[in-house]
Amino acid sequence: MRSGPFCVAETESNRPEYFASLLTYLRRKGRSREDAEDLIQEAMLRLHLYAKDDAVVNEEAFLRQAVHNLAIDQYRRDRSGLRREVPIEEFDRLRPLMAPGPTPDQILEIQQRLDCLSALLDAVSPRTRKIYFAHRSGYTYAEIADDMGIAEITIRRHIARALLTIREQGEKETRKRGN
């Protein structure tokens, strides 16, 4: 029977009789089959090197202890990688801790304000409302004028009319609440 360092890669019939029990032992410890086979191979290499100088009375016990120690070493190596310190800025850059957009509360407040503003602008023409909302969305007077095919001064007048209506409607609402 061969029990050299490469017997893990050999056919099933050339493996030592305790290979299956070592594999089962490591699999119960949570190792994948590939990791378990790697650890067993490493243990067999250590057995081979140790046996050159000293006699090994119980190969199975030697391998079981070697596999156990190697599994602990690997676990510690894996854990040390998890514990390394990472600056919060670096972590936040890779995976933001907070969503970069507005919070749900902010979205709700913005939507309510938009609904209120839309209700206030019901008193103006649909064209004035469209121009006002386009301007509030970030478009310039020139871009809006070009898109609608009208003069820029007309855009200014529509926006002024919308702002005046909002102010008047807002004052009416304030007076109603005050009475």
Distance between CA atoms of residues 11 and 1, nearest Å: 13
pLDDT at residue 43 tops 70: yes
Q: What global pTM score does this model have? A: 0.40
Residue 143: pLDDT band (50, 70, 90) is very high
- Mean pLDDT of all residues in 6-11: 47
Question: Domain locations in the chain?
Answer: 7-86, 104-172
Write down the pLDDT at residue 16: 67
pLDDT top residue among 64 and 120: 64
Quote the pLDDT of residue 17: 75
What's the mean pLDDT when you consider all of the chain? 82
Structure tokens at 169: 């409607």
**Whole-angstrom distance, CA of residue 164 vs CA of residue 179:** 23
How confident is the model at residue 14, as a pLDDT?
57
CB 54 within 8 A of CB 63: no
What is residue 120's predicted lDDT score, i.e. its pLDDT? 79
Burial pattern 19-52, b for ≥16 Cβ within 10 A else e, equals beebbebbeeeebeeeebbbbbbbbbebbeeeee
Residues 158-178 have a mean pLDDT of 84
Could you list the beta-strand ranges (E) of the chain: none
CATH of domain 104-172: 1.10.10.10
Locate all alpha helices (DSSP H) within 102-140, ordered by sequence.
104-120, 126-136
> What average pLDDT score do residues 39-60 get?
88
Spatial separation of the C-alpha atoms in residues 141 and 148, rounded to whole Å: 11
DSSP labels, 16-35: -TTHHHHHHHHHHTT--HHH
